[in-house]
């Protein structure tokens, strides 16, 4: 069968490229082979169902044709190369890109960093006293096949600092393999572990540094259905120096009557420093509500681990952290914008947990425990601030004054050290990393993110407004622009949004925005329902049957920008990615007249078929299932692909996707491209940008990101008739 497919592929490629030599003025046309499904008496057409087989040679040829055509069109846009060079200059003006900083108890820092001129993040260690930096892992030095670069997904140093376990994947696939680096020798041990579940937790070391716990997917035969991949995930213990095949099973479905969960749940283990107890986290797909268990750390390598339940889904706990033998829980039970409570790990009792941070008008977004205090990130629409809560003296809680009136969030904390590191940022000024000293109540610039060339440019401003949506609800909207902007409706404007999983789009600085702003452009971020701007209530107001609020809020924000003179219908575009594909896909299918152009990145565009994919089952709790009538109708309402109408004048659309995407299958963008190309009567381009060395965007190289950004900006300016 494989040989026959290969021969057919060669024939189709020959035929296709032969045609392309004659004419490349139009993209290849996809044949219609309609499939009709019926759900609860509703017939649902699917004219491009066959595209879901990405191994089909015909589908591969069509996608390759779309990719080549799009690359040709984008490459010929006047000014596109100048934009790319400007983006490279702006990117080079940001000396460092530190992420995922780990503070060791001796004061040294581990972190991922991509320096100027580098294409991928590398793992470093920095001496806490001298500031001397040492490179530990360089993914660029590892040769990969078929141009599928390596990237580091995460890392975890051992408590004694002898080892670092880190995960590598290829081509943004998130198919992660664990490696173990011995710091003294710089040698990578022979023990490697594949099929690692990376989305919900990283490896956790035992206090004695002899081994670590990790979460691993089940091994499946090659012909197993895609929806089985994320099922029956298990937690193992690996002892350094032993064979992976001998690793001890710690947690699995049916493994313990004390800790029960389903085959579609994700278990992971947390070993907090300075505590006698471990925490077992059960994540139910992509929903935020957690089930937590605890047991003594000393019991984990024994039979019949005495798990005790801390909380379950009805308690509404979404985040937690541990200090000593106490656990702090972030919950929305009787607190739609969240509160923080505390209970004992020795005898957990959620019903009598002590209230630590009371619910209020602002949102409790996250919590972290340091040696001296609990640090809580508080969100007000999109602006973050940090509340310090001293242990045992909650009455002395106070907000920290972040330098330069910046928004701040905790970027690193250690349970064995005082204070924390905070990432201070704004919409228009460069970001810095500060160390907070609780004894002096002061912040000190760590120098880990030196000021960039474009960090403090004059002439740029931001504004926070609230826009009345279709049902009277006020929706936050952030607007970034040149200070001397004229409200004459002639400013090219890009509106961005997401609106899923209760995730909030907080304030952050991106120097690449300058390339758009300096051309007189406006960037707006719509904090729509389905996101987390106002806590759980905001999330539930844009989920499943209430999902239409997500794109209706977005539409209202776009209309506001036009009515206030920022822009016009001829100069406005919308952008959304992943689950934000629902937002932008439905915005342009409901109001095609409102936008001149749209960008859809790795978009969830066929909600009816989502649960047939690898990542579909974990998302049922967020979006719904066709097996429940009410939720089927909700899915149909949010499925952009099924709302494309023949003969409608749609805006210009650029769809982008990485072919290694494990989260949203690339056929989502392929089917939507084919449908829009066949249906649109506007004459505007519908382009499908394909990256064969990328996935969902996680793990992409800097060059990939800059090239895509240049293509997107050039595409929009071209459609606004401003590309020259």
Rounded average pLDDT over 148-169: 95
**Tokens found for residue 170:** 């290829």
Q: How far apart are CA 172 and CA 692, in angstroms?
A: 10
Give the lowest-confidence range in 211-215, 277-281, 380-384.
380-384
Give domain status of residue 711, yes or no: yes
DSSP 609-626: TGGGSTTTGGGHHHH--T
Nearest to 399 by CA among 422, 416, 376: 376
- Please answer whether residues 706 and 91 qualify as being in contact, where contact means their C-beta atoms are separated by less than 8 angstroms: yes
Of 451, 481, 500, the residue at which a domain comes to its end is: 451
What single string gives the DSSP state of each residue in 631-683? Answer: HHHHHHHH-GGGG--TT--PPEEEEEEETT-SSS-THHHHHHHHHHHHH--S-
Helix axes 80-92 and 702-719, enclosed angle (nearest 10): 140
Tokens for 549?
């609020």
Encoded tokens for 278? 């471990």
Identify the pLDDT of residue 404: 87
How far does CA 222 lie from the centroid of its chain?
28
> Does 426 map to a domain?
yes
Instruction: State how far the Cα of 55 lies from the Cα of 60, in Å rounded to an integer.
Output: 7
Mean pLDDT of the chain: 93
* Domain-terminating residue out of 431, 451, 471: 451
Write down the pLDDT at residue 153: 83
- Condensed to tens digits (0 to 9), the pLDDT of residues 406-425 reads 998 899 999 999 999 999 99
Claim to verify: residue 423 and residue 490 sit in the same structural domain: no
pLDDT at 9 over 70: no
pLDDT class of 95 with cuts at 50, 70, 90: low
pLDDT of 18:
38
- Both tokens of residue 69? 């055509």
How many structural domains is the chain composed of?
2
Q: Which residues pair with 170 in a beta bridge?
A: 150
Structure tokens at 433: 């990393």
Q: In a 3-state reduction of DSSP, which class is residue 435?
A: strand
Task: Give exposure, 457-468, as e/b (b: 16+ Cβ within 10 Å).
Answer: eeebebebeebe
- Which pair of structure tokens corresponds to residue 245? 């095949």
Displacement of CA 369 from its chain's centroid (Å): 24
427 and 461 part of one domain: no
Residues whose CB falls within 8 Å of the CB of residue 412, separated by 6 or more in sequence, listed in order: 101, 102, 103, 109, 420, 421
- Is 272 inside any structural domain? no
Per-residue model confidence as pLDDT tens digits over 551-594:
999 999 999 999 999 999 999 999 999 999 999 999 999 999 99
The rounded percent of the chain whose pLDDT value lies above 70 is 96
Residues 506 and 550 in one domain: yes
pLDDT-derived band of residue 99, with 50, 70 and 90 as boundaries? confident
pLDDT higher than 90, residue 395: no
Q: How far apart are CA 376 and CA 399, in angstroms?
A: 9
pLDDT at 124 exceeding the cut of 90: yes
Average pLDDT over residues 247-255: 97
How much is the average pLDDT of 363-377? 97
Pairing of strands 163-170, 176-182: antiparallel
**Average pLDDT of the residues in 212-224:** 93
Tell me, yes or no, whether 606 lies in a domain: yes
Q: What is the pLDDT of residue 146?
A: 75
Question: pLDDT, tens digit, for every residue of 649-698?
Answer: 999 999 999 999 999 999 999 999 999 999 999 999 999 999 999 999 98
Domain span at residue 376?
Answer: 361-451
Summarize the confidence of residues 325-339 as an average pLDDT: 98
Residue 15 predicted with pLDDT over 60: no
**What is the distance, to the nearest Å, from the Cα of residue 377 to the centroid of all Cα atoms in its chain?**
19
Q: Is residue 311 part of a domain?
A: no
Q: Which residue, 411, 430, 451, sits at the end of a domain?
A: 451
Please report which confidence band the pLDDT of residue 3 belongs to, taking 50, 70 and 90 as the band edges.
Answer: very low
> Are 569 and 596 in contact, with CB atoms under 8 Å apart?
yes
In this structure, the answer to whether residues 480 and 409 fall within a common structural domain is: no
Same domain, 640 and 578: yes
pLDDT reading at 400 higher than 90: yes
Checking if the pLDDT of 611 tops 90, the result is: yes
489 phi-psi bin (left φ>0, alpha ψ -120 to 50, beta other): left
459/593 same-domain check: yes
- Same domain, residue pair 498 and 645: yes
**Do residues 507 and 628 share a domain?**
yes
Query: In this structure, how many other beta carbons lie within 10 angstroms of the beta carbon of residue 252?
Result: 17
- Residue 107 resides in a domain: no
Residues 617-634 pLDDT 10s: 999 999 999 999 999 999
- Do 321 and 341 touch, CB atoms closer than 8 A? no
> Model confidence at 13, in pLDDT bands (50, 70, 90)?
very low
Contact status, residue 498 vs residue 449, Cβ threshold 8 Å: no
Task: Write out 444-512 in H/E/C secondary structure.
Answer: EECCCCCCCCCCCCCCEEEEEEEEECCCCCEEEEEEEEECCCCCCCCCCEEEEECCCCCCCCCCCCCHH
Check whether residue 459 and residue 425 sit in a common domain: no
pLDDT over 60 at 492, yes or no = yes
One domain, residues 440 and 503: no
459 plus 589 within the same structural domain: yes
Residue 24 has pLDDT above 90, yes or no: no
- Residue 442 three-state SS: strand
Tell me the C-alpha to C-alpha distance, in Å, between residue 223 and each of 8, 173, 219, 268, 425. 21, 19, 12, 27, 48
Amino acid 10: pLDDT = 36
Compute the average pLDDT of residues 70-94.
94
Tally of CA atoms within 13 A in the half-sphere of 526 that contains its CB: 37
- Region 291-316: mean pLDDT is 98
Residue 16 lies in a domain: no
**Same domain for 582 and 469?**
yes
Q: State how beta strands 193-196 and 176-182 pair.
A: antiparallel
DSSP one-letter code for 382: T
- Smallest CA-to-CA distance from 523 within 460, 473, 467 is with 460
At residue 290, does pLDDT exceed 60? Answer: yes
In this structure, is residue 228 part of a structural domain?
A: no
Q: What CATH number corresponds to the domain at position 590?
A: 3.40.50.1820
The stretch 305-334 carries a mean pLDDT of 98
Q: Is the pLDDT of residue 532 over 70?
A: yes
543: helix, strand or coil: coil
């Amino acid at each position: 069968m494989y040989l026959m497919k290969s021969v057919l592929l060669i024939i189709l490629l020959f035929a296709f490229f032969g045609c392309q030599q004659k004419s490349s003025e139009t993209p290849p046309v996809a044949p219609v082979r309609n499939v009709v499904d019926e759900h609860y008496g509703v017939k649902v057409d699917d004219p491009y169902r066959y595209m879901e087989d990405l191994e089909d040679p015909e589908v591969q040829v069509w996608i390759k044709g779309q990719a080549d055509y799009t690359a040709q069109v984008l490459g010929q846009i006047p000014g596109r190369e100048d934009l790319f060079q400007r983006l490279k200059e702006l990117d080079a003006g940001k000396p460092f890109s530190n992420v995922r900083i780990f503070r060791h108890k001796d004061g040294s820092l581990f972190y991922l960093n991509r320096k100027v001129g580098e294409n991928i993040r590398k793992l470093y260690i920095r001496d806490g006293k001298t500031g001397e930096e040492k490179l530990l892992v360089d993914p660029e030095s590892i040769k990969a096949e078929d141009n599928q670069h390596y990237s580091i997904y995460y890392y975890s140093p051992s408590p004694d600092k002898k080892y670092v376990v880190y995960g590598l994947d290829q081509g943004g696939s998130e198919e992660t393999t664990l490696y173990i680096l011995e710091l003294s020798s710089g040698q990578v041990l022979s023990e490697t572990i594949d099929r690692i579940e990376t989305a919900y937790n990283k490896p956790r070391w035992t206090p004695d540094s002899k081994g670590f716990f990790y979460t691993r997917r089940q091994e499946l035969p090659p012909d197993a259905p895609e929806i089985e991949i994320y099922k029956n995930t298990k937690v193992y213990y690996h002892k350094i120096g032993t064979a992976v095949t001998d690793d001890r099973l710690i947690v699995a479905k049916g493994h313990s009557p004390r800790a029960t969960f389903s085959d579609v749940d994700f278990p992971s283990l947390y070993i907090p420093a300075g505590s006698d107890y471990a925490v077992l986290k059960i994540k139910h797909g992509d929903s935020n509500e957690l089930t937590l268990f605890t047991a003594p750390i000393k019991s984990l390598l024994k039979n019949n681990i005495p798990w005790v339940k801390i909380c379950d889904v009805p308690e509404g706990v979404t985040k937690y952290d541990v200090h000593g033998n106490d656990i702090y829980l972030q919950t929305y039970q009787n607190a739609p914008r969240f509160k923080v409570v505390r209970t004992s790990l020795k005898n957990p009792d959620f019903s009598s947990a002590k209230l630590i941070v009371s619910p209020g008008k602002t949102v409790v977004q996250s919590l972290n425990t340091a040696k001296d205090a609990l640090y809580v990130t508080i969100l007000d629409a999109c602006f973050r601030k940090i509340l310090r809560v001293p242990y045992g003296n909650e009455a002395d809680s106070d907000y920290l004054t972040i330098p330069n009136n910046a928004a701040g969030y905790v970027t690193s904390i250690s349970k064995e050290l005082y204070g924390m590191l905070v990432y201070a940022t704004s919409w228009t000024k460069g970001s810095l990393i500060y160390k907070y000293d609780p004894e002096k109540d002061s912040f000190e610039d760590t120098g880990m993110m030196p000021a960039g060339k474009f960090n403090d440019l004059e002439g740029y401003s931001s504004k926070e407004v609230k826009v009345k949506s279709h049902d009277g609800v006020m929706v936050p909207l952030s607007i970034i622009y040149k200070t001397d902007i004229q409200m004459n409706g002639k400013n090219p404007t890009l509106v961005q949004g997401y609106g899923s999983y209760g995730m909030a789009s907080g304030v952050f600085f991106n120097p690449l925005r300058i390339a758009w702003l300096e051309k007189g452009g406006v960037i707006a971020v719509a904090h729509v329902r389905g996101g987390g701007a106002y806590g759980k209530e905001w999330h539930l107001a844009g989920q499943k049957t209430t999902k239409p609020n997500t794109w209706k809020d977005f539409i209202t924000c776009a209309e506001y920008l036009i009515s206030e003179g920022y822009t016009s219908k001829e100069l406005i575009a919308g952008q959304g990615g992943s689950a934000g594909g629902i937002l932008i896909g439905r915005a342009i299918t409901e109001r095609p007249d409102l936008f001149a152009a749209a960008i859809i990145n790795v978009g969830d565009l066929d909600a009816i078929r989502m649960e047939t994919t690898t990542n579909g089952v974990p998302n049922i709790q967020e979006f719904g299932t066709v097996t429940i009538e009410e939720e089927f109708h909700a899915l149909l309402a949010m499925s952009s692909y099924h709302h494309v109408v023949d003969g409608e004048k749609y805006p210009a659309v650029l769809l982008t996707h990485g072919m290694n995407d494990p989260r949203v299958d690339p056929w989502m963008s392929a089917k939507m491209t084919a449908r829009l190309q066949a249906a649109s009567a506007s004459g505007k381009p519908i382009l499908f940008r394909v990256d064969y060395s990328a996935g969902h965007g996680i793990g992409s190289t800097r060059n990939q990101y800059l090239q895509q950004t240049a293509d997107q900006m050039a595409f929009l300016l071209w459609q606004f008739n401003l590309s020259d």
